[in-house]
């Protein structure tokens, strides 16, 4: 029973991480019609900045609260980088076919990857201080990292917040109107300018759908956890097969609109 609980938690952990990536990718496409292949690299840039800042602050007497106060630094850095990229490189391609956006964002993917390697080197960068400061909790005869539970909680809170923001606020209504008909929304006075697994998630759930991103993340997280444990050699193959099956049955995805 303990093993089952741990596997369920691992699946939820992976689903939460995927949703945090794929939810943004799906929302950006749904509202702005930008298929950003560099989305995962911007996510990675934010992660590296946070880990780097926490590493600088780590010391023998550093309070744990400092680590958590530094976590948003990466999100701010990624947001600034994304705003600069959108204004300078992506905006000129809004009225052109999506192939131009794909070529541009693929180039950005390569550039951002090299920038990360140039600044922080090829070795992985970790923020173990945050992970270790939270300790672990007992589950049966074993223990489970509290940090993983925090990530699951963040994923759930993000999903609820985004759902409420998109469907229960006036601004969310405007965003959905923009995604449905950009020209009409603009005419009505709405401000329009306002990684492999992540793409599998949005393919399964439907590009541009927040519910699809959540459902796709849960499906990928649960399937991956099962096959990593039982049949690790076919993990990716099974995920691709699920994505292919969904495309055959519903080309727009489970929650997508054709």
What does the DSSP 8-state code read for residue 93? G
Express each pLDDT in 152-163 by its tens digit.
998 888 888 887
Q: Please name the residue that has the structure tokens 């794929």.
A: 22
d(CA 190, CA 181): 11
The mean of the pLDDT values for the chain is: 79
d(CA 240, CA 127): 32
62: left (phi over 0), alpha (psi -120 to 50) or beta: beta
d(CA 40, CA 197): 10
Give 10-residue mean pLDDT values along the chain (258 residues).
83 86 76 77 89 84 82 89 86 78 85 90 80 83 86 88 78 63 49 58 76 82 81 75 80 72
d(CA 27, CA 33): 9
d(CA 137, CA 114): 39
Q: Distance of CA 131 to CAs 30, 49, 71, 209, Å?
A: 34, 16, 12, 32
Express each pLDDT in 169-188 by its tens digit.
776 666 666 555 555 445 54
d(CA 161, CA 164): 5
């Amino acid at each position: 029973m303990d093993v089952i609980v741990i596997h369920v938690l691992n699946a939820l952990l992976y689903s939460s991480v995927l949703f945090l990536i794929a939810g943004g990718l799906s929302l950006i496409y749904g509202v702005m019609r930008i298929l950003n292949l560099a989305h995962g690299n911007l996510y990675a840039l934010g992660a590296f900045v946070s880990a780097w800042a926490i590493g600088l602050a780590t010391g023998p007497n550093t309070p744990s609260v400092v680590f958590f106060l530094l976590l948003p630094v990466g999100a701010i850095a990624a947001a600034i980088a994304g705003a600069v990229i959108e204004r300078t490189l992506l905006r000129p391609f809004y009225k052109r076919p999506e192939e131009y956006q794909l070529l541009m964002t693929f180039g950005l993917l390569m550039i951002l990857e090299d920038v990360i390697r140039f600044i922080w080197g090829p070795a992985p960068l970790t923020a173990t201080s945050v992970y270790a400061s939270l300790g672990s909790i007992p589950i049966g005869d074993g223990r489970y990292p509290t940090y993983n539970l925090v990530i699951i909680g963040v994923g759930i809170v993000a999903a609820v917040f985004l759902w409420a923001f998109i469907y229960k606020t006036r601004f969310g209504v405007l965003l959905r109107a923009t995604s449905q008909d950009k020209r009409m929304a603009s005419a009505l006075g709405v401000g329009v300018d306002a990684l492999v697994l992540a793409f599998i998630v949005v393919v399964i759930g439907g590009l541009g759908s927040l519910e699809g991103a959540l459902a796709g993340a849960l499906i990928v997280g649960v399937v991956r956890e099962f096959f990593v444990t039982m049949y690790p050699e076919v993990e990716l193959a099974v995920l691709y097969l699920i994505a292919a099956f969904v495309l055959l049955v519903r080309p727009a995805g489970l929650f997508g609109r054709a």
